[in-house]
Amino acid sequence: MLETLLNQSLAMDAKSARLLLASLAVKQKGGLSLFDEKGVVDTEGKPRVSQTPSAYHSSHGGYANKPYYLVDGVAVIPVSGALIHKLGFVSSYISGYDAIVAMFDAANQDPDVKGILLSINSPGGTVAGCFDACDHIFENKQKPLWAIYDDMACSAAMCIGSAADKRFTTQTAISGSIGVVQIHSSYEGMLSEYGMEITMIYSGSHKVDGNPYKNLPDDVYQQFKSSCDELREQFAGKVSRNIGLSLDEVLATEALSYTGQAAVDAGLADEVINSHNILTHFTQHLSGTDSQQQRSITMSEQATPAADETVSAGPEAQQQASPAASAPAVDQKQRCAAILKAPEAEGRSDLAQHLAFNTDLSAEDAVAVMKASPESKSAAQGNALDIAMSATEQPGIGAIAEAEEESEAAKYIAAYNKSVGVK
């Protein structure tokens, strides 16, 4: 296994590559062997997955003689641990590209499967086998394919995950690292210390380039570096095609890793989600009952009543409605934040909240309304009054409050008309 990883290009997070190689070096003395659940080496090359307790367990899910976990019509394919070419199985610490592809193909042909979820927790792996696996998955999607970075999708794992239709990240997941690393190990100093000399007899000047018994010459280093650059360009091309970013945008990441929302901001993920909710949302999506609005933590739900009032107000009222009502959908989270955090909102918190949550005004128009409106009493006084009033019986207070709300609304409308020059 150690020889499989040394002196070849790895699409792998650099820190994880160092840890993996160090671990394998320690195990090398006694040998590192991989067995099936009965302790027998699988020589038939069949994909298999460790049937251990999973976060995706449900009363309706199970393996049911399938090579993947099936939950409510969703086939969960793990992309876990170090990713290796032609390994033949998957586990939590090491997985084969061939096994991942075999499970993907099986899920595509399985009539019980309605959608496929790649559950990714991997630092990456070998370049060998990675690009072919990525292309195969991207080109043979017959059913909805989602991926979740839970809780790492770096390098080769990022390449595989990018082939999905939608990509989700947990709030702590690390993803990206779109680059290539090659590690050369030299034993020349150690051999010299022990008085040992290795003689290599070869034909062809480049036959033994990168051998572990000599320090790496500069010209061989440059040769390996050039190869890494070419592979990185190919890698970035796959991600660019799969996700929709330009090649320059992908290369500009310079193999940086991103955490949670930062991956969404960089365009490498579509949404931050709780990993425990991903299957529920996927099954809802497959049944047509899921939506971005249901998942997002925004104030859009608070704005719904105002929108409903506009719809039911009749043709004349709709003609007088704010132009923002017919404008393209905007990011409500950013809009509300822009209104509530504007300097003009200071001393006008009630008005700011009304404009943010109960109107369709753009952030710019809302700020103009606040700027033209007088400052109100402190929020602390208002809150204290509300608390006191709610604890005391007030006959007829409802009619008074309603009249006051209408008066305040009239002030808001007058302030808005003044700000836009309507008399």
User: Is the per-residue pLDDT at 422 higher than 90?
Assistant: no
What is the per-residue pLDDT across 31-58, written as a single tens digit (0 to 9) for each?
333 344 454 444 444 444 433 333 333 3
Q: Which among 9, 95, 119, 155 is annotated as catalytic?
A: 155
155 as an active site residue: the answer is yes
Residue type, 95: S
With tokens 């409050």, the residue in question is 401
- Give SS3 for 393: coil
User: Is the per-residue pLDDT at 159 higher than 90?
Assistant: yes
User: Is the per-residue pLDDT at 260 higher than 70?
Assistant: yes
What is the per-residue pLDDT across 352-409, written as a single tens digit (0 to 9) for each?
777 777 787 888 888 888 787 776 544 444 444 344 334 434 344 343 344 444 455 5
H helices within 163-203, ranges in order? 188-193
- Sign of the Cα torsion 350, 354, 355, 356 reads positive
* pLDDT, position 6: 55
Name which residue leads in pLDDT, 128 or 381. Answer: 128
For the chain, give the mean pLDDT.
76
- Sign of the Cα torsion 372, 378, 380, 384 reads negative
What topology does CATH give the domain 2-285?
A: 2-enoyl-CoA Hydratase; Chain A, domain 1 (3.90.226)
pLDDT band at 164 (very low <50, low <70, confident <90, very high): very high
* pLDDT, position 217: 95
Which helix (H) or strand (E) element contains residue 258?
A: strand 257-259
Average pLDDT over residues 66-88: 94
Name which residue leads in pLDDT, 120 or 372. Answer: 120
- Per DSSP, the chain holds a count of helices (H) and strands (E) of 18, 12
Which helix (H) or strand (E) element contains residue 234?
A: helix 218-243
What is the per-residue pLDDT across 377-389, written as a single tens digit (0 to 9) for each?
444 444 443 443 3
pLDDT band at 66 (very low <50, low <70, confident <90, very high): confident
DSSP annotation of 126 reads E
* pLDDT, position 405: 45
In this predicted structure, which of 6-15, 22-31, 197-206, 254-263 has the lowest mean pLDDT? 22-31
Most confident range (mean pLDDT) of 7-21, 43-57, 152-166, 302-316 is 152-166
Q: How many residues does the chain have?
A: 423
What ranges do the domains of the chain cover? Answer: 2-285, 300-420
The answer to pTM > 0.75 is: no
Average pLDDT over residues 121-145: 97
Query: Which residues, in sequence order, are CB contacts of 187 under 8 Å at separation 6+?
Result: 212, 213
What is the per-residue pLDDT across 190-245, written as a single tens digit (0 to 9) for each?
999 999 999 999 999 999 999 999 999 999 999 999 999 999 999 999 999 999 99
